[in-house]
Amino acid sequence: MKRIFFLFFLCCMTTLATFAQEKKTYTLEDVIPGGNNYFNLVPKNIPGLQWWGDVCVRADVENIRSIQLKDGRETILVTLEEVNQAIEKGQKSYQLSHELKPLRSLMSASLPWAERQVIVFQQNSYWVEYDFGQKKITNISRLNEKAANLDFCTTNGKVAYTVGNGLFVTDEGEESHQINPSQTEEGVVYGQAVHRNEFGIYKGTFWSPKGSYLAFYRMDQSMVTDYPQVNTSTRIATLEPDKYPMAGMTSHKVTVGVYNVKTGKVTYLQAGDPTDRYFTNISWSPDEQHIYVIELNRDQNHAQLVCYQAATGEREGVLYEEKNPKYVEPQHPLVFLPWDESKFIYQSQRDGFNHLYLMDTKAKGESAWKNGKLEGSTYLEHLKVTPLTQGDWLVQDILGFNAGKKEIIIGSTEISPLQTNLFSLNVKTGKRTLLGEKDGMHRASLSESGTYLIDNFSSFHVGREITLLPTNGKKRTTLLKADDPMASQFKLPEITIGTFKAADGKTDLYYRLIKPVDFDPNKKYPAIIYVYGGPHAQLIHNTRFYDARGWDLYMAQKGYVMLTVDSRGSDNRGQAFENCTFRHLGVEEMKDQVKGAEFLKSLSYVDGERIGVHGWSFGGFMTTNLMLTYPDIFKVGVAGGPVIDWKFYEVMYGERYMDTPQSNPEGYKGSDLKQKAGNLKGRLEIIIGGTDPTCVPQHSYSFLRACIEAGTHPDFFVYPEDGHNMMGRDRVHLHEHITRYFEDHLK
């Protein structure tokens, strides 16, 4: 009897254990940003990690802690309670005109001075400095309640910020100085990013190294056409126009001003007529005497590095020039060597890949044009130039310097175009030494002396690993090893990567293939290609799920084969790989995506009659184009925020890759999808944000009109008041909607 009971008990326990090990299915709430459970299912992170000189610190909600480099032990430096006590005292002693409310978290605080025990943070309309050695507020600067684009200068303690189109700098106490004229200048913007954030531009103010000057952009848009965006959330819809210079039309004019902090005087660089010119990558010399600007013509095929006198704005001369019959695209400001202020690093793609070049301001170059390795590239060196890196790979980032060893710390694709790896680069010998793991993607920040990195690393096999990594190659300290919580809770699909040849028959293209969950090789599955295909984007990396999005995994769970191909025209493979699409966007990229469709058809488990395609932005353009150009291959498509006609796209990006409609009418006609509206055979849905400032609604509206006239029937969905991308709950709804469309028409 006891034996029978024991066997029964053992059987029950085995059944319970088996049940407990069964993995769940995931929902869009689990895998889409904005979903209720999304952040619980990404690998753990350590937010708030930063450097305080050479001390690693972690700012969380309640505390700021220092972390020992050798063993990871933590010590509390600052508590939220003591900061709020100091705020309460400071409120009284500073006699503030507006209430300074208690902080709720220390996560946004930073420690900008290695030699001072001070944190800085923004609270309500104030910029606050708190000395945790003295446990008191040491400075409070009043900001406008509508302050944006804050730029804090660590050397003078002042904050530059914008309010509307105006530019301000904090003075003593609660006063701020307005740099631009106080009277309204219609259509003129100060202190903000210009040229629609192309050329690596992400801000509009640039403090000099010692804080004596503030360089800033002034953008006159008064001559630019208004695009009539409409806000439908008001009782009567309200016109809220965007300044939007379309390809071939009048663009804005940019000048660079210099504000003298001591005198309050503003001087403008004497660059000449700014019409049809781009002013990019503003840099300061270490002694604050000179400003450097990389200037381009509107054709974007001739770049000049120009030096100006900071105090007078006088143009001193051109230091370096580069030309290419297709385009030159500078994206990085100069970086001076901390141990030799006469030399700086310039980044260029003149040899086909982005590399580093050391330029010497005290030595003349050869005043003769030379040919670069990139086809058609020529350059002129007015000063001495020494290549620091070379090869069929590219430098992605300069993290900083180890001045003691005269090394640059860089991130590059040298190991694989699917990765970012960290290296130290000896400036004298050119020797590169790998730092950290050879595998995966590394995002890192460098300590002040350049002797340690905070390395945040992940790969297909590693959820996340954060280490304190010495740049001398010695033993690292691991702060976090995190598994992927989805792997332990859910049944995931098989994900593989590989290569096949592009349509040119010689170039290797990377692909990512996701098989359905519970894959059965004897079944025939529908397939979807998720596509982007355009410049400055790469969809496949050696990271979690090989960069597959949550929606790709979700569709694999629903029984779809998912394929992504980084076609020619996409990022991190060099200029020739990217610019082969010049003046004819979509043509070569589509040929490569068709190779992807052919690859799918070669798989015994894919139903070649049920292939769909989905993409957003450039990917929306590709999706629509593929549905219209290859209607017998692609049965269903969902195109988000698509470019339909490149004449409707903005000047800077559009003309770089297509030239102007006036100079390239054939190319614009060939990529105008309205011309192909009659080719639609399958089911195509267009989805847009109702006030999209990037791919303006006119693209999709004009396509609908063309389809009406051609007698074809696409579907259309709008997210009112949303921009180019849907965020939060709208993003979950969007992917529910896309899923339903494929379920209804492809499955």
Catalytic residue among 212, 447, 459, 617, which? 617
Catalytic residue among 584, 724, 733, 737, which? 724
User: Could you tell me which residues come within 8 angstroms of residue 734 by beta carbon, excluding any fewer than 6 positions away?
Assistant: 640, 687, 719, 726
Structure tokens at 63: 């505390």
Alpha-carbon dihedral 124, 129, 130, 134, rounded to 10 degrees: -150
User: Could you tell me which residues come within 8 angstroms of residue 115 by beta carbon, excluding any fewer than 6 positions away?
Assistant: 53
Structure tokens at 374: 């990139």
User: Could you tell me which residues come within 8 angstroms of residue 259 by beta carbon, excluding any fewer than 6 positions away?
Assistant: 169, 179, 213, 214, 215, 216, 265, 266
Catalytic residue among 547, 566, 645, 692, which? 692
Q: Assign 734 to helix, strand or coil.
A: helix
Within 72-147, residue ranges assigned H as helices are 80-93
Q: Please report how the helices 729-745 and 550-557 are oriented relative to each other, as an axis angle in degrees rounded to 10.
A: 40
Sheet holding 395-402, edge to edge: 395-402, 407-412, 421-426, 432-435
Partnered with residue 312 across adjacent β-strands are none
Using CA of residue 561, residue 567, residue 570, residue 571, what is the dihedral sign?
Answer: positive
Q: Give the H or E element holding residue 458.
A: strand 452-458
342 is catalytic: no
Compute φ and ψ for 99, nearest 5 degrees: -70, 135
User: Could you tell me which residues come within 8 angstroms of residue 59 by beta carbon, excluding any fewer than 6 positions away?
Assistant: 48, 50, 106, 107, 108, 109, 110
Assess contact for 429 and 408: CB atoms under 8 A.
Answer: no
User: Could you tell me which residues come within 8 angstroms of residue 551 by beta carbon, excluding any fewer than 6 positions away?
Assistant: 28, 31, 32, 530, 735, 738, 739
602: left (phi over 0), alpha (psi -120 to 50) or beta: alpha
Fill in the amino acid letter for 690: G
Structure tokens at 501: 């040849």
User: Could you tell me which residues come within 8 angstroms of residue 541 by beta carbon, excluding any fewer than 6 positions away?
Assistant: 418, 419, 441, 547
290 is catalytic: no
617 is catalytic: yes
Q: Cite the active site residues.
A: 617, 692, 724
